[in-house]
């Protein structure tokens, strides 16, 4: 069944939320974390710190892919080879701000590079697939100078720092990624409104849950 475009939101990471205290980590292809009354939801992005034992998690940022009750959540990290959890640790969620009045969007988009491996005895072009490049996401907005999300995008463009981004579709599918706000331009004309056009260059992987 098709997904309706109406209701889709794009958010930009604008800081850290309240750290959640970790009481257990279960290693696996998808990592299970136990934390008392964590309050997290699928699509939230958390950063781990101060874990004893499974120190490989410290400093890693991951998306919550499933939640069970108030205590358990899973993140998209393969910890099968990590050290067993001992004690302590926090998972700090990233705060997001919705970019207001989005009219349309395009992306994430991108493709892998093609590596030419043709040699003098080849009878046809021979190739390897390079690293996947997630490309860009672009979106148009009704320009609103006082919108907190649009202000955050302009600030991200000015400071040239990578941000977390979250794209939530109308069926609650969530995509998260890191990216740079490359551009925020405006345009308009006679008998029309002022439009804004935003370009985000994606860095790394796009995670879907």
**Cβ neighbours, 10 Å, residue 121:** 5
User: What are the φ and ψ backbone dihedral angles of 5, each rounded to 5 degrees?
Assistant: -70, -40
End-to-end, the C-alpha distance of the chain in Å comes to 17
Helix, strand or coil, per DSSP, at residue 157 = helix
* Tokens representing residue 89 in the block: 């640790």
What fold does the segment set 102-208 form as a domain? Answer: Thrombin, subunit H (2.40.10)
Q: What is residue 129's predicted lDDT score, i.e. its pLDDT?
A: 93
Please list the residue range(s) of the chain that carry CATH number 2.40.10: 102-208
Q: What is the C-alpha to C-alpha distance for residues 137 and 66, in angstroms, rounded to an integer?
A: 25
Judged against a pLDDT cut of 90, whether residue 12 lies above it is answered with yes
**What's the chain's average pLDDT?**
92
181 forms beta bridges with 200
Please list the residue range(s) of the chain that carry CATH number 2.40.30.180: 15-93
pLDDT, average across residues 72-93: 93
pLDDT, average across residues 94-123: 92
Work out the pLDDT band at 16, boundaries 50, 70, 90.
confident
pTM for this entry: 0.81
- Class at the top of the CATH hierarchy for domain 15-93: mainly beta
């Amino acid at each position: 069944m098709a997904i309706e475009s109406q209701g889709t939101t794009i958010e930009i990471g604008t800081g850290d939320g309240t750290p959640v205290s970790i009481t257990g980590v279960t290693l696996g292809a998808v990592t299970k974390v136990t934390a008392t009354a964590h309050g997290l939801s699928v699509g939230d992005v958390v950063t781990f710190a101060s874990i004893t034992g499974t120190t490989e998690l410290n400093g890693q940022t991951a998306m919550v892919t499933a939640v069970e009750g108030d205590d358990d959540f899973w993140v998209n990290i393969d910890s099968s080879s990590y050290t067993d959890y001992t004690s302590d640790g926090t998972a700090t969620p990233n705060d997001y701000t919705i970019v207001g009045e989005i009219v349309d969007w395009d992306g994430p988009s991108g493709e892998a590079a093609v590596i030419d491996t043709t040699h003098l005895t080849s009878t046809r072009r021979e190739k390897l697939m390079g690293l996947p490049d997630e490309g860009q996401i672009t979106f148009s907005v009704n320009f609103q100078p006082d919108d907190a999300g649009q202000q955050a995008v302009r600030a991200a463009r000015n400071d040239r720092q990578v941000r977390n981004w979250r794209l939530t579709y109308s069926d609650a599918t969530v995509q998260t990624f890191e990216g740079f706000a490359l551009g925020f331009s405006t345009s308009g004309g006679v008998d029309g409104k002022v439009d804004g056009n935003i370009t985000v260059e994606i860095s790394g992987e796009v995670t879907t849950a």
